[in-house]
Amino acid sequence: MDGTNILDYFGIDPFYIMLGQTVLTLILLIVVIVCIFKIKRLYRSYDYFMRGKDAETLEDIIIDHIHDIQELKSQDRANKDQIRINNKNMRASFQKFGMVKYNAFKGMGGNLSFAFALLDYTNTGFIMNSVHSREGCYLYLKAVDRGQTEILLGNEEKEALEQALGYKE
């Protein structure tokens, strides 16, 4: 080495390099200070957010919501099961009917006799025929299976069954 400086080799004055480094350091110092203030503001917002109402933390609120959601899911499952049971029970219950009032015997006043058909969802049930006479009242039941009977029906009983099946009004 002949005693020359590397800065002499590039032809740059050291004063300008130090001036550039000083300016760069000041810019970086300003950026760091701005970042510190932004972090403090963000921390204050975070702290306020985490405090919540009545000193509850956000974690407690989230856990409570999770428990509420689990309870709602359980209730929903129970409600769906109950709806299935209700639908099953409804299909088995009597829900269709037909009624025809008539005068069984000429000469007796009023339509005191009647035929009443009562059916479930599958058109299974019974026909009740109440015949009123001077001697008394007689009640006859005839089974109905899927809209059909094994026993011959009278006109009024047929009409009541047709009403229950929806064929007549």
User: What is the distance between the alpha carbons of residues 147 and 31, in angstroms, rounded to a whole number?
Assistant: 89
Taking a C-beta distance cutoff of 8 angstroms, is the pair 113, 100 a contact? no
Cα torsion angle, 77, 78, 80, 85, sign: positive
Please enumerate in sequence order all residues whose Cβ is within 8 A of that of 159, keeping only pairs 6 or more positions apart, or say none: 98, 100, 115, 168
Residues of the chain with pLDDT > 70: what percent? 91
What is d(CA 53, CA 32) in angstroms, rounded to the nearest whole number? 34
Integer Cα distance of 169 and 166 in angstroms: 7
Domains of the chain: which residue ranges? 52-90, 96-165
| Higher per-residue pLDDT: 77 or 59 | 77
Q: Give pLDDT tens digits for 107-122.
A: 666 788 999 999 998 8
User: Would the pLDDT of 2 be above 60?
Assistant: no
- If pLDDT is split at 50, 70 and 90, which confidence band does 133 have? confident
With beta carbons less than 8 A apart as the criterion, state whether 159 and 168 touch: yes
Q: Which residue has 């007689």 as its token pair?
A: 138
Instruction: Check pLDDT > 70 for residue 1.
Output: no
Convert the pLDDT of each residue in 16-70 to its tens digit: 889 999 999 999 999 999 999 999 999 988 887 777 666 667 778 889 999 999 9
Residues facing 132 on adjacent strands: 137
Q: Looking at this protein, which amino acid is placed at residue 36?
A: I
CA atoms lying within 13 Å on the CB side of residue 98: 23
